[in-house]
Amino acid sequence: MRIFRSLTSLPKLYWHFFGSLLLILLAGWIAWPNVFTLNLSGLQSWLPQVPQYLTVQKSQINLTPIGIPFRTDVPLQYGLDIQGGTQVTLEVDMSSIPEADRETALTSAVEVIRRRVDLYGVAETNIRTAVFQDQYRIVVELPGIDQPETALQLIGQTAQLQFQEFQYEESTSSADLESEEATPSVTGQFVATGLGGDQLSRATVQFSPQTGEPVVNLEFSAEGADLFAEITERNLNQPLAIALDDQIITAPIVNQAIYGGQAQISGQFSVEEAETLATQLNAGALPVPIEIVEQTTIGPTLGQTSLEKSVFAGMVGLVLVAFFMIFLYGWSGFLAVIGLLAYGIITLALYKLIPVTLTLPGVAGLMLSIGMAVDANILTFERMKEELRANKPWNRVIKDGFGRSWDSIKDANLATLSICFILFNPFEWGFLHTSGPVRGFALTLALGIGVGLFTGVFFSRILLQLFLAPPKQTERNA
């Protein structure tokens, strides 16, 4: 009980310090590489038994099995301009699509491209849309592929939707032919019925009035309605598969012959599953021609060189900022630099956890936010100098310095965050561009501002209150 009382009697300041320190240590563990290699060749002249390289793998923290989506082995994702690969810009021809259906057609085209890229085996693909006036474009980033021509040929095809029925085949093995009790085995495969996306008008998500569960309603054209009625008549209690690009996406059982050109697919869907199925069906119902208008290929060596130069420039900038802060503000500046190091650790951990795809514009946003992270410290320290000249007590100096500088810090960062909001364009407004590099810059800058407010205002204040002694009287009157 004596230990318990001593812990509870600690001032709130210490609890804030230890909590912040724990957060920084956890962020450092997340930011640290999962596997890193140490070059020990310099020690081999004294210790020949030491290996030239030592590979170390850090211990992992994984809380996913207990229902908490947290793990520390997440990798840092690099964009196309760093990792290398191919960026393709596709023009979607909407001339034959009604105005009300163009957004659905664009979403369906994106879903088709995503499925094709996944089947091709490209990891960490970034697919986004860009709508400006009457131009509908899809930008596809394929990192790290060796043969972009094959992927481009696959992506540029128009979606093909087919309804397929199961065709049974009886076969008897050669060993069973010699036996009088030979039993034929029943096999089969799905074959095309002649009903495709051209006869499907649209697919929509509705809710069943009986069960309240989401269902997918299909509407066929007049030609499709007659063909669908014939297909369902001969396939009662049999599966009727729907294939997109020769890949079966669903195979519901036909319960009854369906007339009138309207059908319903049910099966205990979640809302998300029903919306995904409707999107895939609309990809065939609203096929849009896709044309490749631009292709850019970046080699991995060029991207790595650009990253190394950017990191070097960032390190030089960090050293200059640290030298400036220490030279101008002394020990207060040194504590601000410690806060700046904490800023870098937390930011890198957030990049892994969110995750943020790191591109060269994103690196530029990170470098810019470093300077803005110490901006709060500069405003606070200058305000503290004014409070010192008024011969106020040291605790009052810190309190008034941070309190009276907060309005300026808040207004400056809110103004920058509003610009980040416009650049990121989260609501896909048509009058604003949705460029991926610009969004990457805005995201990293906004994250940097948020973390900078924590380290520059909250954590730096804790460090000043704990570790910085009050200045002498001569310094106060200087």
Q: Give a yes or no: residue 226 inside a domain.
A: yes
In this structure, the answer to whether residues 465 and 335 fall within a common structural domain is yes
Q: Is 90 helix (H, G, I), strand (E, B) or coil?
A: strand
**Are the beta carbons of 239 and 253 closer than 8 angstroms?**
yes
Single residue among 254, 278, 298 that ends a domain in this structure? 298
Over residues 371-384, the pLDDT tens digits come to 788 888 999 999 99
Instruction: Characterize 326-345 residue by residue with b for buried, 16 or more Cβ atoms within 10 angstroms of its Cβ, and e for exposed.
Output: beebeebbebbbbbbebbbb
Q: Find residue 247's DSSP bridge partners.
A: 244
In this structure, the answer to whether residues 246 and 256 fall within a common structural domain is yes
Q: Give a yes or no: residue 453 inside a domain.
A: yes
Phi then psi for residue 469, to 5 deg, are: -80, 155
Over residues 172-229, the pLDDT tens digits come to 554 454 545 545 555 678 888 889 888 888 889 998 888 888 999 999 989 999 999 9
At 127, which amino acid appears? I
Q: Which of 447, 219, 238, 271 is nearest to 352 (CA)?
A: 447
The whole-number average pLDDT for the span 28-53 is 74
Single residue among 46, 72, 98 that ends a domain in this structure? 72
CATH number at residue 101: 3.30.1360.200
Q: Give a yes or no: residue 30 inside a domain.
A: no
Q: Is the pLDDT of residue 128 over 60?
A: yes
pLDDT band (50, 70, 90) for residue 240:
very high
Q: Give a yes or no: residue 79 inside a domain.
A: no
Q: Give a yes or no: residue 28 inside a domain.
A: no
In this structure, the answer to whether residues 277 and 389 fall within a common structural domain is no
Over residues 132-162, the pLDDT tens digits come to 778 888 888 877 665 666 666 666 665 678 8
Q: Which of 69, 79, 61, 74 is nearest to 25 (CA)?
A: 61
The two most distant CA atoms of the chain are separated, in Å, by 114
Q: What is the dihedral of CA 367, 371, 376, 378, to 10 degrees?
A: 160
Q: Give a yes or no: residue 14 inside a domain.
A: no
Q: What is the dihedral of CA 106, 359, 350, 115, to 10 degrees?
A: 30
Q: Which of 354, 311, 348 is nearest to 82 (CA)?
A: 311
In this structure, the answer to whether residues 266 and 358 fall within a common structural domain is no
SS (H, E, C) 128-166: EEEEECCEEEEEEEEECCCCHHHHHHHHCCCCCEEEEEE
In this structure, the answer to whether residues 132 and 66 fall within a common structural domain is no
Identify which has the larger pLDDT, 118 or 415: 415
Provide the phi-psi class of 282: left if phi over 0, else alpha when psi is between -120 and 50, else beta: alpha
In this structure, the answer to whether residues 365 and 421 fall within a common structural domain is yes
Q: Give a yes or no: residue 324 inside a domain.
A: yes
CATH number at residue 437: 1.20.1640.10
Rg, the chain, Cα only = 31
In this structure, the answer to whether residues 65 and 91 fall within a common structural domain is no
Provide the phi-psi class of 245: left if phi over 0, else alpha when psi is between -120 and 50, else beta: left
**Are the beta carbons of 109 and 128 closer than 8 angstroms?**
no
Q: Find residue 163's DSSP bridge partners.
A: 242
Write the CB contacts of 476 (distance below 8 Å, at least 6 apart in sequence). 388, 389, 391
**Are the beta carbons of 277 and 249 closer than 8 angstroms?**
yes
At 87, which amino acid appears? Q
In this structure, the answer to whether residues 388 and 410 fall within a common structural domain is yes
Containing structural domain, residue 58: 38-72
Which two structure tokens, joined as six digits, stand for 474? 């001569």
The total of structural domains in the chain comes to 3
In this structure, the answer to whether residues 308 and 227 fall within a common structural domain is no
Which two structure tokens, joined as six digits, stand for 468? 């910085």
In this structure, the answer to whether residues 324 and 360 fall within a common structural domain is yes
Percentage of the chain lying above the pLDDT 90 cut: 23
Q: Is 168 helix (H, G, I), strand (E, B) or coil?
A: strand
Which two structure tokens, joined as six digits, stand for 10? 């600690």
Weakest mean pLDDT among 85-89, 337-341, 407-411:
85-89
Single residue among 231, 263, 298 that ends a domain in this structure? 298
In this structure, the answer to whether residues 42 and 161 fall within a common structural domain is no
**Ranges 4-8, 91-95, 172-176, 179-183, most confident:** 91-95
d(CA 404, CA 231): 77
Q: Give a yes or no: residue 336 inside a domain.
A: yes
In this structure, the answer to whether residues 241 and 384 fall within a common structural domain is no
